[in-house]
Structure 1
């Protein structure tokens, strides 16, 4: 049987905002080795509440989304306007200046059994389409990825993103090198 291609699955994804009821699921995902390696995030109930609570309550400008495939939670996506985070934008600017209307996303596939099945590129492509319809003023999506995380930047490329820059940025995990790839996808 043929493996589904990225574009075959784009229409089957749905997205909903993360609620406080999702925190146990997020904590479990953040504890898995394949997520913890790149996210370097605490997963205690207090830490998840601290880091995801403001977004879930609408107190933070970023948005956290669950990605569901056939109704089953598979991944987490975070989306923000670059302009909402001046410190992050200032760090990024020497490497690449996101244009007006640019958003950024971060993402993960939660369960270990879902990794390596082509779900990442499909989820990213579907969420980008979701972004175009939900944020009509968005011009592009610009994503910096630590260069050592080949699976992550390859998922972006498979979803249609193109490399636009490379340079040093602060990594999410202090064990990583500062070298990042920056990928971009323009609104069609």
Structure 2
């Protein structure tokens, strides 16, 4: 559950949501068990056909590779699933930026970042790592994941098909310009459009990362509560489908 790293002017967080339901126990639902059982056993990461989850994984996120580009006020944005041989060096360089490393904790040699990426690419399909292209230029790293199937679900009132996002803006020149909130809004709305069964997008940035929390607020997320996770105290941010045209 790495914290999100974005750039925006910090804003004070609103009070926690007091209408929280009881947190669900993290158990694999029948949907996931069936999909894992039916997935090809011999596929290697990167061998799947166009639009398929990598490694023949079960599709738990409605074909992120096929979500396509979306127009934003900053330009045309496109989420592209990670390919190790193409993207590792760039993502590792971003992870070694001190401003990123403070929250993602993946600084070090490339193999540390590689292990983090491969764990998702060869996993059960609940998380898809992506590079974000703005007008064709790689400039951000994203993880789109099933929050209801993630360990995070032990710590908040998860609902079926909750979709989570992690984000870091790669280059220092792209930070502090409001790109974080612009792209977060675009990706959250894209996920809601491409995943009709999903009722909300969630995120859990580190509470200390005030620019990140402010970016989520600017992107139409609401502050739900503070959450004590094993590696941080987080702000649970939620973008609701039924409020997306109002916030």
Bin of the TM-score, shorter chain as denominator length: 0.7 to 0.9
Q: Contact (CA 8 Å) 1:10, 1:126: kept in 2 or not?
A: no
C-alpha deviation, 1:11, in angstroms: 6.2
Aligned to 2:73: 9
Aligned to 1:179: 233
Q: Select 1:98's aligned residue among 155, 158, 176.
A: 158
Aligned to 1:114: 174
Gaps of 5+ in 2: 1-70, 243-247
Q: Deviations over 1:60-107 (max 9, x none)?
A: 42011111111111111101112322x3311x1xxx312222111110
Q: How many residues align?
A: 171
Gaps of 5+ in 1: 1-6, 172-177
User: Is the radius of gyration larger for structure 1 or structure 2?
Assistant: 2
Aligned to 1:174: none
> Could you list the runs of 4 or more consecutive aligned residues of structure 1 that deviate by over 4 angstroms after TM superposition?
57-60
TM-score for the superposition, normalised by structure 1: 0.82
Greater relative contact order, per chain length (Cα 8 Å cut-off, separation 6+): 2
TM-score for the superposition, normalised by structure 2: 0.64
Question: Secondary structure of 1:130's match?
Answer: helix
Greater percentage in strand: 1
Aligned to 2:132: 67
Aligned to 1:3: none
Greater percentage in helix: 1
How far, CA to CA, are the matches of 1:180 and 1:63 in structure 2? 21
How far, CA to CA, are the matches of 1:10 and 1:132 in structure 2? 20
